[in-house]
Amino acid sequence: MRYALGVEYDGGAFQGWQGLGPSGPPTVQATLERALSSVADQEITVSCAGRTDAGVHAECQVVHFDSTAERDPRAWTLGVTGRLPPTVCVRWCVPVDPGFHARFSARARRYRYTLVNRPVRPALYRATMAWERRPLDADAMHRAAQALLGENDFSAFRTVHCQAPHARRNLQDIQVRRSGETVTIEVQANAFLHHMVRNIVGSLLEVGAGAQDEGWIARLLAGRDRTLAGPTAPPQGLVFLRPLYPAEWGLPDEVTL
């Protein structure tokens, strides 16, 4: 039987999603697989919708796994969560068709980046928000970001370590908003390159702070030169909100197009 899980985690204590072997540092994948294997009483491996970096969080990462163990969705959800550290939980479990794949069946992914914009660094939310001391013009950031919409070559916003075969991605939506001292950037695309969201945020911050004009983002995109773009934003402000799937897979509404 194949199952899909919605997994929530605080990435601060992990060296990213991907397992690094039994002697490696803690990762979300390895932690989840140990808990699943304990409940199933057999070795379980999972595939995820989108790998996250060290320090990056997830509101609803989706994974799938196969098991011959006879457990109902409630047992998987509660049993696995009971074997996970407080920083990880299973939100839901759904039996799925054997053709479902957490990564390849997804049609889009959505991220949110949140930062505190004030002269003094945050204390209360330092683990889940980044900090920018320079005053930011969120409206200018939003206008500049619209140049990224559509299918484009995002070479200017990919890390040199990115292993994707090409840099073309379809960016479907990007919004920059301010609420008091908090600035959020939400972005949705069919898929993302390694560090793509954090590199976009790092460049938008230069526009928001007035160090670059609004047209700079469009010029960066056209130039395809990572060395000319802004720095990579810190990981703690980034949350993988969810992947999105066609309704045919019968997944919860929060991950269905």
146-161 residue pLDDT tens: 999 999 999 999 998 8
Fold annotation for 108-240:
Alpha-Beta Plaits (3.30.70)
10-36 residue pLDDT tens: 999 999 998 776 667 899 999 999 999
CA nearest to 140, candidates 212, 208, 203: 208
Domain extents for the chain?
2-105, 108-240
pLDDT over 70, % of the chain:
99
46-65 residue pLDDT tens: 999 999 999 999 999 999 99
CA angle 36, 189, 147 (to 5 degrees): 155
Active site residues: 53
Identity (one letter) of the amino acid at 17?
A: W
Contacting residues for 207 by C-beta, under 8 A, at least 6 apart: 137, 140, 141, 144, 213, 214, 216, 217
162-212 residue pLDDT tens: 888 999 999 999 999 999 999 999 999 999 999 999 999 999 999 999 999
- CATH code of domain 2-105: 3.30.70.580
Q: Quote the DSSP letter at residue 240.
A: E
Q: Quote the DSSP letter at residue 208.
A: H
